[in-house]
Structure 1
Amino acid sequence: MHLYAATVAEAARGVGDEAFIAAAERRFTKVFGVAPSAEEVHSWRRSWPALVSILRSAGLEDVHLLLEYSLPATGERVDALLLGKDADGRLCCVAIELKQWTRAQLSPARPGMVRIGERVVQHPARQVGGYVHYLQQWVSRDDFPLTVRGTVVLHDASAELVADLRVPAARGPAAAHPVLGRDDLTPQPSPQALAQRLGCAELSPTGRDDVERLLHAEHRPSPALLERAGEVIAGRDAFALIGDQDLARQEILHAVDAARERGTKSIVVVTGGPGTGKTVIACRLLGDLCKQPGGNPRLLSPSGTLTRQLRRTVGEDFRGLIATFLNKVPAQIADDSVVLLDEAHRARTYPDHQQGAFPVILGKLVDQAAVTVLFLDERQIVRPTEGLTLKQLEQHAQRRGFSFVHVDLVSQFRCNGSRAYQQWVDHLFQPEGPALAWEGSDYDLAVATDPEQLDHWVAEHIRGGRTARVTAGFCWPWDSPLTPPLLPEVAITWDGPEGPRTWARPWNSRADEPGFDHPEVPARPFWATDTGGQDQVGCIYTAQGMEYAYNAVIMGGDLVRRGDRWIAHPEESHDSQLRDLPPHRYLEYALNTYRVLATRGSRGTRFYSTDALTQAFLQKLTSPHNG
């Protein structure tokens, strides 16, 4: 997809006209499904005429120009793409990242990022490097070879700014992509010299047929990319499988092979509670599938946090293979694709999963793929707008005529492998009935007397080099700005021996990237793993899917124990998705939420409830003599 395709000379006839911009706005809305932002349209007005003028000065009038060329597997767009023939007669693409920057702030602590006003963005040389890598690995192939280059064009930037930006760009792969400023973009000493600086020195015109081939080229991972991804995943200790996990992996691979042999669409559902290894198995399966000839696999998750963590572990080079699944089916899922959907219980089901209809977007994904493997834990559904069940998936397979396989994971690998603790938690967070006293000896479980004791317990483990985090139910406001300093909004007051005391901590950051001036504050996706996360309180949306060694859980007033049953108080919640639900509906999500929070710690957990009766109930269950 793209907004405009023509030669540079043809673009020059209209690119500066308001009618050209208006037509681009209309096409953008039609092609991408949303209207462009006012900021984006403003950048078109400033940058497109400037770029065309530069290209004409370099003698590139007959080269083809694509504006806003889409890279479907990443959701990103290249500002401009030049197409021509290289010296060997191969089709050559030059990806151009356009900026109107006149000033920027850099930080040695974050060489890959740049602050522009209030925004923090990726360094443009790294950005264009990502485009080059994508075109090389997702579009270029034996039957359609491409030469790919990348250039950053800062048409308003001074020599001083460009010099500053070139310093971090000189490190690593970004060094291959020139950063050009105002003084570099004049035809001095000759038009050929300007073309050389742009990466277009040997670029000759190509025919319309070549342009059409690129525009209609299938975007899918190259065999080399898949092979490399398979090797990387296989070599990661984090994805090593143990015992029943490997048996489950083999069973799933057998189901996938059988589905392919039958040539029918298939759904494979893998169920298991927290810590049974669903994510690890999904990652190893991706590695296995990447090594198979002719593969076109994807690993998707509705959780952006999990996606970012997996990309960090595997490497950003493989980001198209690992993606977040939200409001649309990722591009190039085809009838030869095997899709692994981790945390399928978080798949969005607008407007309410209890209305019975199968989720539309998920249905499209299943229909497009050859095999869809869904990793599911029904008791981790924590919102009305997400979640589906094993029964729904089996019924959908029957309606669509797909084959269906169910694999159940039993062995427990989190919580120190303690089946006793997992069973205790599962029983504890049932809506009603007598609770079980804790009698296990293979997991460190207790109830803290107050938040300070909870805090000291976490700090002690951090000092000992172990991971530890505090989480809480969503019972406090969350109004901190995206950039630090964060507000200490999780505030709890209790009566201590010397009178009332108050403990307060901020929620984790809501930003997807660390604050430019506060690299010590982890971004939301990395709260569970990065240094500094122990100083904030995580919630269900940042903790789900993650694990750490020691786990402190604060229960708020939204879920309290009275006798042999749990009582829900949605009015105590600050979660806009839930607080207006009736108590009987809210109860289901509250129980699931606290069950998830209670199962993040691999070695130990401490509970604390702000409700006095619930606190006494928990203390009685976990005391050595159980009352």
Structure 2
Amino acid sequence: MTTDNAATHKLSPGRALSGPQTELLNRVVSFCEQHHRDESALFVIEGAAGTGKSVVLNAIFNTLQTRARNGRGDDPLQGLQNMVIVNHPEMLKLYRNIAAIMPNLRKSDYERPTTFINKSAKTGKRADIVLVDEAHLLLTRPDRYNHFAQQNHLEEILRWARIVVVVFDPLQVLKFKSHWSVDLLDTFRKGRPSETFHLDTQFRVAASPATRSWIDALGQGRLLPRRKDPSFDLRIYDDCAMLYADLCACNAKYGLCRLLSTYDYPYTLNGEDHFITEGAFHLRWDRSLPTEKQPWAERPDTIDEVGSVYTIQGFDLNYAGVILGPSLFYDAAHDRIGVRPERYEDSAAFQGRDGIAAPDEAKKRVILNALNVILTRGIHGLFLYAHDPALRKRLLQT
């Protein structure tokens, strides 16, 4: 079993890579060598949740920075100015924590996209190579509340870097203001050198192919027959309090077990605690602690909180407990999970709908994307509880 610093270990540049990950590292480094004098080049890394995208990205960056800072004079990557960008505060904490213990990495090598763009515009200096983790979280429209006045994060990053390497998964788009699609990403490939590499080996969920298919289907709203799997602990609960008790027992034994929920219960950033109640179960949402240097998933005290997609995206857990909240129900007519966007409490996810075709369907897609993210966190187990009694009953029948 992994321990409570599993995320830091997982993303360590010293971690051994698989064959495809090593091939990807070599491909990206070769791409950078070939195009380091070009005005603009784009490399796209695609892959579903759990395929090791962030792992290999940080290994690539460590290789680039080692050569940039220690390379010989004839090394084409020597002296280059490189960055990693991620629009996810919890992941940024993790990357900076790792940088503090690596000889060729610095905390200042990692930044949020808006900060990078605004600093570059102010100084007029371009970076050489920029790696973007979780590129599906980049903004696709202005967000003046967060000081981004331009139209598209990636467009601006390409403006301020010679080579851009992005990690992308369209099934992890969570907001209208980050409304990415494969087609939209394709528009940025045109007119510049571009390569794509797809990672498809699942490294996180240590389950049989049948169980992984069951989880993947659930994240799309589909209900498949469930098979016994001795390699993965998949449980459906009729009692949320019992789920939490069992999860706490697993956490005491193995560590790195956390409870998560769809964003279907009221939560406001007002400094107060907000709670999720399901029968005898009553627990607060995760607290917003922007000054906390340790990511939410790695803090031992957060077993006493319920995490959201925003605190857990990009992280691994040994066991994940997941509450399917009121926005999800059993659609008996189609024998699948139905979605009620009006019950989804993340109103910010649906701001900026201009230009989005079929916004009602897009809302459902965002909710299912968020579900997909939280369902795919557990390495060794997944415990499920549904708010809707009919959905609970149907899940128990799978």
Question: What range describes the TM-score normalised by the shorter chain of this pair?
Answer: 0.7 to 0.9
Which secondary structure does the structure 1 equivalent of 2:348 belong to? coil
Q: What letter is aligned with 1:324?
A: R
CA-to-aligned-CA distance 1:164-207 (integer Å, 9 cap, x gap): xxxxxxxxxxxxxxxxxxxxxxxxxxxxxxxxxxxxxxxxxxxx
Matches within 5 A, 1:499-518: 502-514=280-292
Q: Distance in 2 between matches of 1:418 and 1:370?
A: 42
Counterpart position of 2:87: 302
Which secondary structure does the structure 2 equivalent of 1:552 belong to? strand
Q: Would you say 1:395 and 2:209 are equivalent positions?
A: no
Using the TM superposition, give the Cα deviation of residue 351 of structure 1 relative to its aligned residue in structure 2, in angstroms: 5.7
The partner residue of 2:297 within 509, 528, 537 is: 528
Contact 1:328 1:361 in 2 (8 A): no
Counterpart position of 1:273: 48
Higher relative contact order (CA 8 A, sep 6+): 2
Counterpart position of 1:569: 340
The partner residue of 1:350 within 141, 146, 154 is: 141
Counterpart position of 1:452: 241
CA-to-aligned-CA distance 1:80-103 (integer Å, 9 cap, x gap): xxxxxxxxxxxxxxxxxxxxxxxx
Gaps of 5+ in 1: 1-231, 353-357, 494-501, 515-522, 622-627
Counterpart position of 1:20: none
Counterpart position of 1:285: 60
Q: Distance in 1 between matches of 2:307 and 2:138?
A: 21
Contact 1:334 1:370 in 2 (8 A): no
Q: What letter is aligned with 2:16?
A: A
The partner residue of 2:321 within 552, 564, 573 is: 552
Matches within 5 A, 1:436-475: 436-475=225-264
Structure 1 569/327 Cα, relative in aligned 2: closer, same or farther at 3 Å? Answer: farther
Q: Distance in 2 between matches of 1:577 and 1:286?
A: 32
Structure 1 570/394 Cα, relative in aligned 2: closer, same or farther at 3 Å? Answer: closer
Contact 2:329 2:338 in 1 (8 A): yes
Q: Would you say 1:323 and 2:111 are equivalent positions?
A: yes
Counterpart position of 1:367: 159
How many percent identity over aligned positions? 22
Using the TM superposition, give the Cα deviation of residue 480 of structure 1 relative to its aligned residue in structure 2, in angstroms: 6.7
Q: Would you say 1:587 and 2:367 are equivalent positions?
A: no
Contact 1:570 1:578 in 2 (8 A): no
Which secondary structure does the structure 2 equivalent of 1:566 belong to? strand
Q: Distance in 2 between matches of 1:489 and 1:475?
A: 11
Q: Distance in 2 between matches of 1:256 and 1:375?
A: 16
Counterpart position of 1:542: 311
Gaps of 5+ in 2: 1-7, 68-77, 144-149, 354-358
Which secondary structure does the structure 2 equivalent of 1:414 belong to? coil
Q: Distance in 2 between matches of 1:575 and 1:552?
A: 20
Contact 1:268 1:405 in 2 (8 A): yes
Using the TM superposition, give the Cα deviation of residue 589 of structure 1 relative to its aligned residue in structure 2, in angstroms: 0.9
Counterpart position of 1:408: 198
Structure 1 242/409 Cα, relative in aligned 2: closer, same or farther at 3 Å? Answer: same
The partner residue of 2:21 within 245, 248, 252 is: 245
CA-to-aligned-CA distance 1:45-90 (integer Å, 9 cap, x gap): xxxxxxxxxxxxxxxxxxxxxxxxxxxxxxxxxxxxxxxxxxxxxx
CA RMSD of aligned residues (A): 2.8
Q: Distance in 2 between matches of 1:412 and 1:234?
A: 14
Q: What letter is aligned with 1:575?
A: D
Q: What letter is aligned with 2:46?
A: T
Contact 1:351 1:384 in 2 (8 A): no
Q: Distance in 2 between matches of 1:235 and 1:347?
A: 21
How many residues align? The count is: 361
Q: Distance in 2 between matches of 1:415 and 1:238?
A: 22
Contact 1:394 1:404 in 2 (8 A): no
The partner residue of 1:424 within 187, 196, 214 is: 214
Which secondary structure does the structure 2 equivalent of 1:508 belong to? coil
Q: Distance in 2 between matches of 1:313 and 1:442?
A: 31
Counterpart position of 1:491: 277
Task: Tell me the TM-score normalised to structure 1 length.
Answer: 0.54
Q: Distance in 2 between matches of 1:611 and 1:322?
A: 42
Structure 1 360/568 Cα, relative in aligned 2: closer, same or farther at 3 Å? Answer: same
Q: Distance in 1 between matches of 2:11 and 2:273?
A: 41
Higher CA-based Rg: 1
Structure 1 478/235 Cα, relative in aligned 2: closer, same or farther at 3 Å? Answer: closer
Contact 1:296 1:336 in 2 (8 A): yes
Counterpart position of 2:70: none
Counterpart position of 1:377: 169
Q: What letter is aligned with 2:347?
A: S
CA-to-aligned-CA distance 1:498-548 (integer Å, 9 cap, x gap): xxxx2110111112125xxxxxxxx7x622101101000001111111111
Q: What letter is aligned with 2:32?
A: V
Using the TM superposition, give the Cα deviation of residue 418 of structure 1 relative to its aligned residue in structure 2, in angstroms: 4.8
Using the TM superposition, give the Cα deviation of residue 475 of structure 1 relative to its aligned residue in structure 2, in angstroms: 1.3
Structure 1 376/297 Cα, relative in aligned 2: closer, same or farther at 3 Å? Answer: same
Contact 2:174 2:367 in 1 (8 A): yes
Q: What letter is aligned with 1:322?
A: Y
Using the TM superposition, give the Cα deviation of residue 274 of structure 1 relative to its aligned residue in structure 2, in angstroms: 0.9
Q: Distance in 1 between matches of 2:100 and 2:259?
A: 28
Counterpart position of 2:378: 601
CA-to-aligned-CA distance 1:588-625 (integer Å, 9 cap, x gap): 0111111100011111111110101111121122xxxx
Q: What letter is aligned with 1:350?
A: R
Contact 1:569 1:583 in 2 (8 A): no
Structure 1 360/586 Cα, relative in aligned 2: closer, same or farther at 3 Å? Answer: closer
Task: Tell me the TM-score normalised to structure 2 length.
Answer: 0.83
Which secondary structure does the structure 2 equivalent of 1:478 belong to? coil
Counterpart position of 1:77: none
Using the TM superposition, give the Cα deviation of residue 330 of structure 1 relative to its aligned residue in structure 2, in angstroms: 5.5
Which secondary structure does the structure 2 equivalent of 1:370 belong to? strand
